[in-house]
Amino acid sequence: MRENLRTNFLGVEMPNPFMLASAPPARDRDMIDRAFQAGWGGAVIKTLTQYTGEEGSEIRDVSPRIFPIRGSSGVFKNVVFGYMNIELTSQKTNEESCEDISFLKKRWPDRAVIASILYGHAPIKEKWQRAAADCELAGADAIELNFSCPHGCSEIGSGVSIGGNPAKIREIIGWVKEATRLPLITKLTALSDIVYAAALSEECGADAICAINTISSMPGIDLETFRPRMNAGGVGTAGGLSGHMIKPIALRSVLEIARAVKIPVSGSGGIYDWREAAEFILAGASTLQICSAVMEQGYGIIGGLCNGLSAYMERMGFKDIDAFRGRALGSIVHHADIDRGRLFKPYLDIMKCSCCGKCAVSCRDAGYQAITLSRGGVRIELERCTGCGLCYGLCPNEALTPVETRV
């Protein structure tokens, strides 16, 4: 066990900050048990929705429902950049899910076992409260309120439709707090004002924030059939986008929320390796929730996540997670506060330059016509350059590097 990774989240002492997000990898106790054996610090079980086992209350998924989004050409051909999914909530009855919670908490007292609940159909209040009370009795450490699922929920006034509705946020947190003493986490959507929703959640008594959930998307349309690339019986729908593609949005959301609230933030969205985990912690996250990387690579990635993050902390002299949580916030400012007196222009290392022409094309058609390519090689007219940075950002050989000048 890496002692410097030990994390206290809402009163639970975890061996590390890495948790399974409420998603397919956290579907049942056998799967979560295997994840804990591999070394995961916690899990948010797949969302309960008051399925009772009675006819008409079952959760029925479509097939197929998870679609990998791949690059289509060049070096990115078949590279998976993310996933679009339209899978619904848990197909287990609430009683079965609570049995899973009890089993996991007894077997793994040092891991965070968090319930996720969501409801939309009337009578809403009674069902939110019943689910929360049942999860507390089962031994859950906390309850995550799913205010952000983007598919199959807005139609019933739940999920993402709650996260964008301040009145509903206030109302549901109030209902659940009446029914349980457990800590409450609100899982919020980046499809609305997530910072306002986080601040409101804190004001209403939430104990932590999780950001973000998947983002409503359409992965593509087949040019021959005119149908969505992921369809069932010829028709499809928008679904939740996850993976690498949403990481910049998730990171921005976490850092802005961390500035706005005093309660812990659990970061989620596009975390695949320890470096990305460290970025989220630097942005203010206390714990990390992961799904897409596990769907692609399995529970075994936890070893690399823990070893890499722990080694980084040792190298930087950080004795624990709190020692560097939020360290990046001071260097992220409003656009108007950025120094306009600094200018970075490209320096060309001709030994690295392959004369591929990418810099010349981008500067010609999207920049300031400061770079040209001829038989003699790349030529830079520094007096025309305004320092936009596009050229050295695109150079595949790192032949262009920024050199600072004063305006």
Rounded to whole angstroms, how far apart are CA atoms 387 and 389? Answer: 5
pLDDT at 155 over 90: no
> Which of these, 329, 338, 170, lies nearest to 256 by C-alpha position?
329
The DSSP element (H or E) to which 112 belongs, if any, is strand 112-117
Q: Look-up: residue for tokens 């802005």?
A: 256
C-beta separation of 195 from 205 below 8 A: no
Nearest alpha-carbon partner for 233 in 26, 31, 65, 407? 65
Catalytic annotation present for 359:
no
> Quick one: pLDDT at residue 64?
77
Is the predicted pLDDT of residue 62 greater than 90, yes or no? no
**What is the token pair recorded at 181?**
């003493």
Indicate if the pLDDT at residue 88 is higher than 90. no
Tokens 């950002």 locate to 393
Rank 18-32, 137-151, 213-227 by mean pLDDT and report only the highest: 18-32
By three-state DSSP, how is residue 71 classified? strand
Percentage of the chain modeled with pLDDT above 70: 94
CA dist 195 and 325 (Å) reads: 19
Collapsing DSSP to helix, strand or coil, 83 comes out as strand
3-state secondary structure 330-351: HHCCCHHHCCCCEEEEEEECCC
pLDDT at 407: 67
Which comes out higher in pLDDT, residue 3 or 231?
3
pLDDT at 156: 63
Q: Determine the Cα angle at 358 with ends 355 and 359, to 5°.
A: 90
pLDDT at position 61 over 80:
no
The span from the first CA to the last CA of the chain, in angstroms, equals: 52
What percentage of the chain exceeds 90 in pLDDT?
72
CA atoms of 64 and 326, how far apart (whole Å): 40
Please identify which residue in the block is written with the tokens 């054996």: 37
Model pTM score = 0.93
Mean pLDDT on 370-393: 93
Rounded CA gap, 109 and 104, in Å?
8
Residue 29 CB contacts under 8 Å (≥ 6 apart), including other chains: 99, 100, 103, 104
Under 8 Å between Cβ of 131 and 178: no
Domain residue ranges of the chain, discontinuous segments joined by +: 3-331, 339-406
For residue 304, give the amino acid letter. G
Indicate the range of 158-162, 196-200, 209-213, 311-315 predicted with least confidence. Answer: 158-162
pLDDT class of 157 with cuts at 50, 70, 90: low
| Nearest C-alpha neighbor of 32 from the set 131, 143, 111 | 111
Q: Is 252 left (phi over 0), alpha (psi -120 to 50) or beta?
A: alpha
Instruction: For domain 339-406, give the CATH number.
Output: 3.30.70.20
Average model confidence (pLDDT) across the chain? 91
**Which is catalytic among the residues 98, 149, 204, 385?**
149
pLDDT tens-digit map of 278-337 = 999 999 999 999 999 999 999 999 999 999 999 999 999 999 999 999 999 999 999 999
Contact 391, 347 (CB under 8 A): no
- Options 3.20.20.70, 3.40.1260.10, 3.40.190.10, 3.40.50.2000; CATH for 3-331 is 3.20.20.70
Residue pLDDT, tens place only, 106-131:
999 999 999 999 987 555 899 999 99
Q: Is the dihedral of CA 283, 248, 18, 209 positive or negative?
A: positive
Predicted confidence band at 152 (pLDDT cuts at 50, 70, 90)? low
Encode pLDDT of 339-358 as tens digits: 888 899 999 999 999 999 99
